[in-house]
Amino acid sequence: MRRTSQWAVSFLCTSTLGLLAIGSMAAGQPIAAFSGEVLSGEAPFTVAFDARASASPGTTLTRHLWVFGDGSTGSGKQVTHVYTVRGRYEVTLVVMNGQGASAMQTGIVDLEYTDSVLLAGIDVGNAAPEFTLQDLHGDPVSLSDQLGRVVILLFWASWCGPCKELLPELVEAVQGHEDDEVIILGVTIDTKSTDALAYLSANRMSEVIGLWGSLEDARAVQETFQAVAMPYVYVLDRAGIIRFAGKPPNPVGAMIEPWL
């Protein structure tokens, strides 16, 4: 059976199905770009990668190096790779020109819940960027560990008035959906983790998994997701794809119901 991904980057002219990922475009620097197509819909999965869209203004690209995310590497403008195990793999392309300059771009091969090659990013339709933070009890939590669940990713703080208005609505929205495995990951921008823990405990919001680690760590994730104004919410489907980003609608349950 031949399966192809329906994901494409709309701001570039291309007829290639799948991912077209664009790397550095600074003057004098090479550009790393690749497309991907899943050729087989059952394990083992054969994926074709094409880096011919990569370029180096003023000189020639001399190397195209691949890291396939399963411990294997390769080289060449056009390569195929076989994934023997269903999973979600981060693929990296590095290109180098004759002057020794390089550029890199990363994409996601998602063979866990969808057979596709996806652009990693923070827009709706992108594969959400991976991160790991400690919860408010000091245990590490990775976003990739939540595959198979609908994730409400909230950026908040206990001193944020609008956040405190939204939190009860989010909790109410997920109550009754425990069997659907809907979870709330709350990245808090509090100065101290104890402030966030005290607030959630006092208001009996056990449904919210507070994430922090350190203020520096939490702000790094906030910057990655460009969650400038709080509260800011992302909804990820079971494959880790962003389905909603921004200020939640009223009622907030409307943003998760299509993905249950």
With vertex at residue 175, the alpha carbon angle to CA 174 and CA 181, rounded to the nearest 5 degrees, is 55
Rounded Cα distance between 162 and 177, Å, is: 24
- Residue ending a domain, choose from 62, 87, 119: 119
Cis-peptide, bond into residue 44, ω within 30° of zero: yes
pLDDT tens-digit readout, 63-82: 999 999 999 999 999 999 99
Cβ atoms 8, 18 nearer than 8 A: yes
- Are residue 38 and residue 113 in the same domain, yes or no? yes
> Residue 158: what pLDDT?
97
Q: Tokens representing 162? A: 């609008």
Cβ atoms 92, 67 nearer than 8 A: yes
Residue 95: in which H helix or E strand, if any? strand 88-97
Domain count, the chain: 2
pLDDT over 60 (residue 227) = yes
Rounded Cα distance between 112 and 85, Å, is: 9
Residue 5 located in a structural domain: no
> Residue 24: what pLDDT?
42
Cβ within 8 Å of residue 215, ≥6 positions away: 189, 190, 191
Residue 137 located in a structural domain: yes
**Which residues constitute the domain of residue 59?**
21-119
pLDDT tens-digit readout, 113-140: 778 888 778 999 888 988 999 999 999 9
Cβ atoms 220, 93 nearer than 8 A: no
- Are residue 97 and residue 212 in the same domain, yes or no? no
- Are residue 149 and residue 245 in the same domain, yes or no? yes
pLDDT tens-digit readout, 88-115: 898 999 999 988 999 998 888 988 877 8
Mean pLDDT lowest among 11-15, 88-92, 142-146, 209-213: 11-15
Read off the pLDDT of each residue in 232-245 and give the average, rounded to a whole number: 93
Residue 14 located in a structural domain: no
> Residue 29: what pLDDT?
85
Neighbours of 253 (CB within 10 A): 17
Strand-pair category, 78-83 with 45-50: antiparallel
Residue 10 located in a structural domain: no
Residue 29 located in a structural domain: yes
Neighbours of 189 (CB within 10 A): 20
With vertex at residue 243, the alpha carbon angle to CA 240 and CA 244, rounded to the nearest 5 degrees, is 125
Residue 79 located in a structural domain: yes
- pLDDT band of residue 184 (cuts 50, 70, 90) is very high
> Residue 22: what pLDDT?
41
- Are residue 220 and residue 254 in the same domain, yes or no? yes
